[in-house]
Chains A and B, each alone.
Chain A
Amino acid sequence: MVDLLNESGDPRSSEHSELMSRPLPHIHRVDPRLVHATLLEAWVPYLAARHLVVADEEVATNLRGRTIFEMSARDVANTYFVAETLVPAVLSKIPPNEGVIVVYGGLQSFTRALSIGLQCQQMILGHLPSGDNRWRVHPSVYLGQDDYQWVDRIREAGVEVVVRPLPSDQPMGLRQDPDGRPVLVEMPPTIKDTRSALQSQADGQADDAHVSNVLVGQMVVVNERGLHLRAAHLLAQCAGRFVSSVNVISDGRTVNAKSLLGLTTLGAALGTKLELRVEGSDAEVAYTSVKMLFESGFDEGRA
């Protein structure tokens, strides 16, 4: 975070002081608690975040988990639940300059997003729990040997690892002392660009962000009860989150997947093959979200 990185300030340019008072438009945060009090009551207001991306495959496919987080994040305009590997796709569809918080359940989760091309300058380490053979680097951040290896990998990818549980905490870097133990170090007093590489990338794509994409694929109903009322409700709810049109085609009949009634009239039982057709500016994310829902058997599992 630039505004706290260099408290001594840099009088050379007014542009710098402006940068320093302006928070980053979005952050990547690692915290196994994912959505919780500190995130909702401190980070969301601090960044005026309008978008919360919960990057956790387990939560994305767990109805109860999603519902709890969605209910608690009432004050955030948009909440997305996706697998870590979908983060770049989601971010590319969010308008630039709108505050975004992406939360990951662990360091390894974050590396999954990096592995498929996530570009960012900084990862904020918000919390890792205490435990046997885990070193305390901060009252709410403990690192084990494995964790430090992940930290190294993240750095190798050119991402700075910053320990900063609360927005009011001074951002600190992590280094290993001569005995190999992780310790906090002051961040180098250089002014970082407030906008991450990802953000500039998003800016570059802004022009074609509204170009429609069409994605078509075959879905199979894998849960025992088929596309019954509850499943249809989930599907309509999921499809309804996107601006893209989401249609399901069965036996030559096309129904709008945002319509609960339309879906239930399909009477799609276990084993039914349906064509999914998604068209619009956020087609990629919409398609993948719907596909994941089908694959999870609408959270009911495979029959």
Chain B
Amino acid sequence: MIGLLLISHGQLGRVLLETASEIVGPFDEAEVISVGRKDRLAEVEQRIDDALVRLDSGFGVLVLADMFGGTAANVVLHGIDERPVEVVTGFNLPMLLKISTARPRAEGLSSLAQLVKFYGQRNVILASEMLKEREKIG
């Protein structure tokens, strides 16, 4: 199966994975890396690299990062030529829930990454406005 690695500032990734697990059940072959404000870059790089090696069972690893431009995302992006990874930034709960069902039957890493990006973006909604517009039409 495609591996799953969440990387984030502080405990965001760990808590998101725990929360998603409570909703849809446990995630196999998934790991979390937290980057704290006292961490050394070289050490973060090593932790990410080790996790990618553990998680790649031949199908590659989908990396979800909390934000584009964050240190953890920057570190993983530096190494994308060396490892079979796709990196999607700006993770959210809907993405994780989609991954729980889409990952086991994904055609491949890049199509899963595309789907996750699309699904994550589609779920950022100005919901109150959308509701009002719907009601107007109705």
A142 to B74, CA, bound (A): 22
**Number of B residues, CB within 8 Å of A:** 15
B71 touches A37 (CB 8 A): yes
* Beta-carbon nearest neighbor of B69 in chain A: A72
Q: Which residues from chain B contact A139 at a C-beta distance below 8 Å?
A: 37-38
A204 close to B (CB within 8 Å): no
Q: Report the bound CA distance from A64 to B41 in whole Å.
A: 17
Residues of the B chain whose Cβ atoms lie less than 8 Å from the Cβ of A73: 69
Q: How many residues from A make CB contacts under 8 Å with B? A: 22
Residue B134 at the A interface, CB < 8 A?
no
Q: Which of A32, A35, A65, A69 contacts B41 (CB 8 A)?
A: A32
Q: Is A77 an interface residue (CB 8 A)?
A: no
Other-chain contact of B38, A65, A71, A140 (Cβ < 8 Å): A140
The chain B residues found within 8 Å of chain A, CB to CB, are: 9, 37-41, 43, 67-71, 74, 77-78
A residues lining the B interface (CB < 8 Å): 32-33, 35-37, 40, 64-65, 68-69, 71-73, 127, 129-131, 136, 139-140, 142, 165
Residues of A contacting B67 in the complex (Cβ-Cβ under 8 angstroms): 37
Query: What are the residues of chain B within 8 A of A72 when measuring CB–CB?
Result: 68-69, 74
Q: Is the CB of A129 within 8 A of B41?
A: yes
Contact: A140 with B37, CB < 8 Å? yes
A139 and B36 CA atoms in complex are apart in Å by 10
A36: chain B residues within 8 A (beta carbon): 69-71, 74
What 10 pairs across the A-B complex have the smallest Cβ distances? A72-B69, A129-B40, A140-B37, A130-B38, A36-B71, A37-B70, A33-B71, A68-B77, A40-B69, A68-B74
Question: What is the chain A residue whose CB lies nearest that of B68?
Answer: A72
Distance (whole angstroms) from the CB of B84 to the closest CB of chain A:
17
Separation in Å of the A281 CB from the closest CB of chain B?
Answer: 30
B37 A127 Cβ-Cβ under 8 A: yes
Docked complex Cα distance between A72 and B65 (Å): 13
Given contacts A33-B71, A36-B71, A71-B68, 18 further A-B contacts (CB under 8 A): A33-B74, A35-B74, A36-B70, A37-B69, A37-B70, A64-B77, A65-B78, A68-B77, A72-B68, A73-B69, A127-B37, A129-B40, A129-B41, A129-B43, A130-B39, A130-B40, A140-B37, A142-B38
